[in-house]
Amino acid sequence: MPVREFAVLAEGLEKRYGEKRALDGFDLAVRCGTVHGLLGPNGAGKTTAVRILSTLVRLDGGRARVAGLDVTRQPRQVRRRIGLTGQYAAVDEIVTGRQNLAMFGRLFHMDRKRAARRADELLEQFGLTEAAEKGVKEYSGGMRRRLDLAASMILAPEVLFLDEPTTGLDPRGRNEVWEAVRSLVAGGTTVLLTTQYLDEADKLADRIAVIDRGRTIADDTPAELKREIGGDQVEVVVREAADLPAAAKAVARVAAAGAEPEADREDLRVTAPVTDRVAALTEVARTLQDEGIAVEDLGVRRPTLDEVFLRMTGRRTEEREGAAA
């Protein structure tokens, strides 16, 4: 049997809810053993795409294969090879972590011994062994999400769909979930991740598909997406407004060919694109020091994913549109 290159393939997916087109020719290709981010504004179609790919919703047009199987013709076989974690933890707060996982094992038709053994394996894998006998109501948000991830891994799925898995978690809880996801991928699981946290996509995803109005408008690595909207920029923040013109001249000397510095009088900030980040930063720092200009901040920064989305969609990902996802 040939080795599959892609764990998820979607071509021209369409989904309508009455007059609204939730998906309008959506394409996606997720390589095996990677994390692929699916990002876009609310209402862009992210959750609808996940629901179709996980066989929860039938598509109206196009075709999709998950783990080598057709989601329309072979939904049962697809379900045996996937896991799904939604935006909110689906575990039972009344019973313990171990009891939760054993219960999920039984629901997957495991016998008692096998379910108990699998629960112990997952508790260890997700760093929850010490809390195994505690009621889930005593767990932190990050622990609950890790337990939820563990429950979705009962059958060790080939593909795991994570629909905004860290919604509502504090930074510590988010880091705990990130580590769990990295561990899963290292073990061979393919992850399709939808999120509105741009730093999450930046840290976890090997590639990112940008979806807007039901269509894929970009699909590349985080670094390439940032590079498409511009490279490095030198940035100077001065202490006194009177020094802005001199700072602008210093920055103009190192700006990329044809680029003009932009000055923000309110923030006392001057920025310009550069081609050699180290040389530019060194020269600007020397010039400002020689001219005795007091500086609050000086550095070289790269575009953020937030700027990528703003440029590509005209909206930031956290905007609420009141539309179904």
Q: Can you tell me the mean pLDDT for 298-322?
A: 68
Above 60 in pLDDT, residue 320? no
Name the range with the highest mean pLDDT among 38-52, 69-83, 182-196, 308-322.
69-83
Tokens of 301: 């920064």
Give the model confidence (pLDDT) of 195-222 as tens digits: 877 888 888 999 999 999 999 999 999 8
Q: Can you tell me the mean pLDDT for 106-124?
A: 92
At 163 the three-state DSSP class reads strand
Query: Are residues 66 and 7 in contact, defined by beta-carbon separation less than 8 angstroms?
Result: yes
Q: Which domains does the chain have, with CATH numbers?
A: 6-227 (3.40.50.300), 232-300 (3.30.70.100)
- Edge-to-edge strand list for the sheet holding 233-238: 262-264, 269-273, 233-238, 295-301
Q: In this structure, which long-range contacts are made by residues 296-300, counting pairs with CB atoms below 8 Å and at least 24 apart in sequence? A: 296/237, 296/238, 296/239, 296/268, 297/235, 297/236, 297/237, 298/235, 298/236, 298/237, 299/234, 299/235, 300/232, 300/233, 300/234, 300/235, 300/274
Give the model confidence (pLDDT) of 148-173 as tens digits: 888 888 887 899 999 888 877 788 87
Give the model confidence (pLDDT) of 45-99 as tens digits: 999 999 999 999 999 999 999 999 999 999 999 998 998 887 666 788 889 999 9
Whole-prediction pTM = 0.76
Query: What's at 146, amino acid-wise?
Result: R
